């Protein structure tokens, strides 16, 4: 019935083979929206937040690519921008898309942006955001992964030891090629050996 809550279900050995289809059906039903317009036909549209899809894809691919190096890779890594000021006022919380941590210390961070890179004329807010992450985490390198084609660009921030790399990911390529690109990025950002941080991009 329209507007009724989705029926619940539990995965079991009997229905395990239907699991992926049922989960996909839940996503479709939760994200359906009505289309308004002239005519007698009713059509439901399926809305996908591509920014979230892109971020999730990049996060999972980087986590898998970094699984063989020392440390651990965390998504939506929480950090605080400001120091305690002795009051009960809340501090500024931030969440980086992907952070690789070695011996309890962040060594590389990544942020996925479902848009063209700054080379294409976008504002500089992304670089401000990465600088804030690097400062709060004590990380020298930040990697902006854009849904775009083109060369890698590295920006050395003035007066601080921070470099922000813009890494384009051309979504017109095959999935296996995208995974290979992200594996290459992981190898550049976090060396396979436990030493060598920070790593300088060979461009």
What kind and span of H or E run contains 111? Answer: strand 105-113
Q: In order of start, what are the domains of the chain with their CATH numbers?
A: 16-46 (no CATH), 50-189 (3.40.1350.10)
Burial class (CB in 10 A: 0-12, 13-18, 19+), 63: middle
| Cα first-last separation, the chain | 58
pLDDT of 117-174, one tens digit each?
A: 765 565 588 899 999 999 999 998 899 999 988 888 898 999 999 999 999 999 999 9
Rounded CA separation 167/187 (Å): 13
What pLDDT is recorded for position 15? 78
Which range has highest mean pLDDT (18-22, 118-122, 155-159, 196-200)?
155-159
Residue 196 to residue 148: CA distance in whole angstroms: 29
């Amino acid at each position: 019935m329209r507007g009724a809550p989705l029926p619940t279900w539990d995965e079991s050995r009997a229905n395990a083979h239907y699991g992926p289809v049922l989960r996909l059906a839940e996503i479709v039903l939760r994200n359906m929206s009505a289309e308004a317009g002239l005519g007698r036909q009713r059509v439901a549209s399926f809305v996908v937040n591509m920014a979230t899809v892109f971020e999730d894809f990049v996060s999972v691919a980087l986590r898998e690519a970094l699984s063989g190096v020392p440390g651990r890779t965390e998504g939506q890594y929480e950090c605080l921008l400001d120091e305690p000021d002795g009051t009960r006022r809340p501090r500024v919380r931030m969440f980086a898309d992907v952070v690789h941590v070695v011996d309890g210390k962040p060594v590389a961070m990544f942020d996925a942006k479902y848009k063209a890179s700054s080379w294409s004329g976008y504002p500089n807010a992304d670089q401000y955001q990465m600088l804030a992450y690097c400062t709060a985490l004590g990380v020298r390198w930040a990697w902006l992964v854009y849904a775009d084609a083109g060369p890698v660009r590295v920006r050395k921030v003035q007066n601080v030891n921070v470099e922000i790399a813009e890494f384009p990911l051309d979504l017109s390529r095959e999935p296996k090629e995208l995974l290979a690109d992200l594996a290459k990025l992981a190898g550049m950002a976090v060396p396979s050996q436990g030493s060598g941080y920070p790593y300088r991009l060979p461009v």
